[in-house]
Amino acid sequence: MRKVGIIGVGQSVFGVRNDVTIQELAWEAVKEALEDAGLTQKDIEISIVGSAGTRTYELYPAVPVNEYSGFSEKGPLRVEAACATGSAALAVAYNMVASGFVDIALAIGVEKMNEVDTATSLAVGGRGGGNYLWEYHFYGTTFPPAYYALYATAHMAKFGTTEEQLALVRVKNQKYAARNPKAQFQFEVTVEDVLKSRPITWPLKLYDCSAITDGAAAAIVASEDAIRKLHIDTPVWIEAIGYASDTSNITRREDYVSLKATKIAAQMAYKKAGIEPKDVEVAEVHDCFTIAEIMAYEDLGFVEKGRGGGKFIEEGQSDIGGKVAVNLSGGLLGKGHPLGGLRAWR
Amino acid sequence: MRKVGIIGVGQSVFGVRNDVTIQELAWEAVKEALEDAGLTQKDIEISIVGSAGTRTYELYPAVPVNEYSGFSEKGPLRVEAACATGSAALAVAYNMVASGFVDIALAIGVEKMNEVDTATSLAVGGRGGGNYLWEYHFYGTTFPPAYYALYATAHMAKFGTTEEQLALVRVKNQKYAARNPKAQFQFEVTVEDVLKSRPITWPLKLYDCSAITDGAAAAIVASEDAIRKLHIDTPVWIEAIGYASDTSNITRREDYVSLKATKIAAQMAYKKAGIEPKDVEVAEVHDCFTIAEIMAYEDLGFVEKGRGGGKFIEEGQSDIGGKVAVNLSGGLLGKGHPLGGLRAWR
């Protein structure tokens, strides 16, 4: 594979962004990324737009996004992988450079989630995420109760993880969100704040859950040759990408205390990069709910299965000064969760 | 770039497929492609699902499609590029093999268009293709009147192209659709049939337009090494891919007698492959309307601009025995037009 590096990144302010259209939101991130790389639109050969797109007015969001940002000839190629959409866009841009198809590619992740409300998004033609026929229509599953509260209760039952330990994830992530001028929630919280927040589905309270967020991020990737020609001395080389999923049918999962997809993808990436979990110093992981971050510690191999709660979180092992600093951006919990907007490069 | 070849293809029956879910429809194509290549699911490293997805019940169509076909761990990675969605999925699969990320990838194009009707699809949150704010909402543009009737009248005014010449495109494509057991419309038509069909937007009649179609196609691509190891002697090598678009704002286009996107993408592909338009013997082009195929003859360089109607079509130069045989599958007009379902490999 050709070596590929990230040479510019940008990001919009996250939050309820009814002040902008999806293309204006994306441009906030694209403009920053271009400036960061010292490039203009003409340098970009293809624009990959990650957008789950289920709650925006635009039927084909890559089209207005590319048009407005000045890439109307350089796409459209929209990528969607549900909550991994941003990472998927980066993976496609990476492969298009690694293959030699282009030398410089742009990956945009953008989501407007406050245009079409949840009820409408789900009700239209009976649409649901997961699998419409079996999960949404027959069983009425939605994310908090059917997925993450289930995982949380299983983790508590099997390993003794407590509600206080779940809360500590939010406390840590808010500490950093409070210092991030682009975060949706720029304030700190205490364990007590989390425990007292409105119940959603036991054991999850409001502060155990991420929010509905509008936001965008962008990354420019380039080949080693292009980076040399541009005289860029400090690219962030992409050493490895792992890509995996698991059954979407919740009833068929092997267990309810881990996400197999994370384990497979992490092993792929570790193997390609030639490193072990203990070598990782900083990680941004999927903390859509507090329990998700605890499972990620385990599934990524930072701590053994079942120990992601307990002393690991209590001692701050996932904070600066611990074994691995996780979600220093504020994470999905503190910074906001625009589905396709940010996974890999928030 | 690593050499990449297509080693298996498959396709569903096209039409109004209310008898199947989107995952069952995709499986018809995937099953054929696996059998064609002599592979099983375990041989596939990643599954790329092309689906515009705007008229199906499934919010994230790649998820149930992968689940049902046995690729629940190998994705999801959905690609959307409006009416070029199928080709875009193939382009991503191609790049993931060319880069060395994987050795064997599957590209699926699938579209269920008869689950959510046009009115609902467009009305939900005011959604429209193109650009919601300027085109759909303010001007009410939809495809037949605002785009292709405009192009047809301009072509007629500037080059003297006639309604009869437009009709000849449908006549040719139906000749082949009538012989294609998977086509939506398996019958032949005459010029008179086309001219007599119901007016849609002058000069386009019903038979100048493609239909609302459910359908799926699949292609398995592999690296040269993998092809050698599999002892496959007859892959279809992908010599080059061009990828481009144009402004989505119809008011900003340079002219209304050509599609700039086609010209740019074709030049990219010709240059990479080291061939000229006259070297092309067979082509599948985007005939969503009869005028689209005539413009494609010109924009792809098979005949000079303005001459795609006239003698070129009258003499059968785009038919078997002519300069280049176009849309022998029956095309979008005869075979059907499931947005993401088929572009590159119908």
The number of domains in chain B is: 2
Specify if A343 maps to a domain: no
CATH number at residue A317: 3.40.47.10
When CB atoms are compared, the residue of B64, B98, B264 closest to A99 is: B98
Cβ distance of A57 and B99 shorter than 8 Å: no
Specify if B181 maps to a domain: yes
Alpha-carbon gap, residue A9 to A11, rounded angstroms: 7
How confident is the model over B210-260, as pLDDT tens digits?
A: 998 999 999 999 999 999 999 999 999 999 999 999 988 888 889 999 999
How confident is the model over B136-149, as pLDDT tens digits?
A: 544 556 677 678 99
- Which of the four pLDDT bands, split at 50, 70 and 90, describes residue B323? very high
Written in H, E and C, the secondary structure of B266-314 is HHHHHHHHCCCHHHCCEECCCCCEHHHHHHHHHHCCCCCCCCCCHHHHH
Give the pLDDT of residue B162. 98
State which residues form the domain around A310: 129-210+242-335
- Which of the four pLDDT bands, split at 50, 70 and 90, describes residue B126? very low
Written in H, E and C, the secondary structure of chain B is CCCEEEEEEEECCCECCCCCCHHHHHHHHHHHHHHHHCCCHHHCCEEEEECCCCCCCECCCHHHHHHHHCCCCCCCEEEEECECHHHHHHHHHHHHHHCCCCCEEEEEEEECCCCCCHHHHHHHHHCECCCHHHHHHHHCCCHHHHHHHHHHHHHHHHHCCCHHHHHHHHHHHHHHHCCCCCCCCCCCCCHHHHHHCCEEECCEEHHHECCCCEEEEEEEEEEHHHHHHCCCCCCEECCCCCCCCCCCCHHHCCCCCCCHHHHHHHHHHHHHHCCCHHHCCEECCCCCEHHHHHHHHHHCCCCCCCCCCHHHHHCCCCCCCCCCEECCCCHHHHHCCCCCCCCCCC
C-alpha distances in Å from residue A211, one per residue of A158, A207, A214, A215, B3: 28, 9, 10, 12, 45
Plot region of A127 (φ>0 → left; ψ -120 to 50 → alpha; else → beta): beta
Burial class (CB in 10 A: 0-12, 13-18, 19+), B276: exposed
pTM above 0.90, yes or no: yes
Alpha-carbon gap, residue B72 to A27, rounded angstroms: 34
Within 8 A of A54 by CB-CB distance, chain B residues are: 59-60
Specify if B259 maps to a domain: yes
Judge if B98 and B71 occupy the same domain: yes
With contact defined as beta carbons under 8 Å apart, do A186 and A309 qualify? no
How confident is the model over A34-47, as pLDDT tens digits?
A: 999 999 999 999 99
B207, pLDDT greater than 50: yes
Percent of chain B with pLDDT over 70: 90
Give the pLDDT of residue A53. 85
- Which of the four pLDDT bands, split at 50, 70 and 90, describes residue B345? very low
> What does R_g of chain B's alpha carbons equal in angstroms?
20
Judge if A175 and A69 occupy the same domain: no
Specify if A60 maps to a domain: yes
Judge if B83 and B191 occupy the same domain: no
Within 8 A of A98 by CB-CB distance, chain B residues are: 95, 99-101
Specify if A38 maps to a domain: yes
A155 is catalytic: no
ipTM exceeding 0.90?
yes
Judge if A227 and A295 occupy the same domain: no
When CB atoms are compared, the residue of A55, A73, A125 closest to B57 is: A125
Specify if A113 maps to a domain: yes
Judge if B64 and B189 occupy the same domain: no
Angle at B74 between CA B69 and CA B77, to 5 degrees: 95
B130, pLDDT greater than 70: no
A83 is catalytic: yes
Burial class (CB in 10 A: 0-12, 13-18, 19+), B7: buried
Judge if A261 and A307 occupy the same domain: yes
In A, minimum Cα distance to B99 occurs at A99
Cβ distance of B74 and A244 shorter than 8 Å: yes
With contact defined as beta carbons under 8 Å apart, do B68 and B26 qualify? yes
Cβ distance of A63 and B249 shorter than 8 Å: no
Q: Which residues contact B119 (CB under 8 A, 6 or more apart)?
A: none
Alpha-carbon gap, residue B220 to B69, rounded angstroms: 14
Angle at A250 between CA A247 and CA A253, to 5 degrees: 60
Spatial CA neighbour of B26 closest among B346, B343, B341: B341
The pair of three-digit structure tokens given for residue A246, joined into one six-digit string: 């698991």
Judge if B13 and B38 occupy the same domain: yes
Give the pLDDT of residue B281. 98
Within 8 A of B88 by CB-CB distance, chain A residues are: 77
Residue B164 has, within 13 A of its CA and on its CB side, a CA count of: 7
Judge if B154 and B232 occupy the same domain: no
Mean pLDDT by 10 residues, chain A (346 residues): 97 96 96 98 98 84 93 96 95 98 98 77 51 53 77 98 98 98 97 96 95 95 98 97 91 92 98 98 97 98 97 98 98 90 40
The pair of three-digit structure tokens given for residue A193, joined into one six-digit string: 């704040």
Specify if B340 maps to a domain: no
Judge if B224 and B247 occupy the same domain: no
Judge if B288 and B331 occupy the same domain: yes
Cβ distance of B264 and A73 shorter than 8 Å: yes
Give the pLDDT of residue A145. 67
Angle at B111 between CA B109 and CA B113, to 5 degrees: 165
Collapsing DSSP to helix, strand or coil, A21 comes out as: coil
User: B235 preceded by cis ω (within 30°)?
Assistant: no
Within 8 A of B113 by CB-CB distance, chain A residues are: none
Specify if A124 maps to a domain: no
When CB atoms are compared, the residue of B73, B91, B116 closest to A244 is: B73
Amino acid at B214: D
> How close, in Å, is residue B52 to chain A by CA atoms?
8
Collapsing DSSP to helix, strand or coil, A288 comes out as: coil
Judge if A14 and A160 occupy the same domain: no
Q: Which residues contact A42 (CB under 8 A, 6 or more apart)?
A: none
Which of B83, B155, B286, B288 is the catalytic position? B83
User: Which of A39-43, A130-134, B62-66, B124-128 is predicted with the least confidence, judged by mean pLDDT?
Assistant: B124-128
- Which of the four pLDDT bands, split at 50, 70 and 90, describes residue B344? very low
Interface test with B, best of A2, A59, A147, A260 (most B CBs within 10 A): A59
Say which residue the tokens 């992490």 belong to. Answer: A266
Judge if B173 and B148 occupy the same domain: yes
- Which of the four pLDDT bands, split at 50, 70 and 90, describes residue B58? confident
Within 8 A of A133 by CB-CB distance, chain B residues are: 21, 57, 64
- Average per-residue pLDDT in chain B? 91
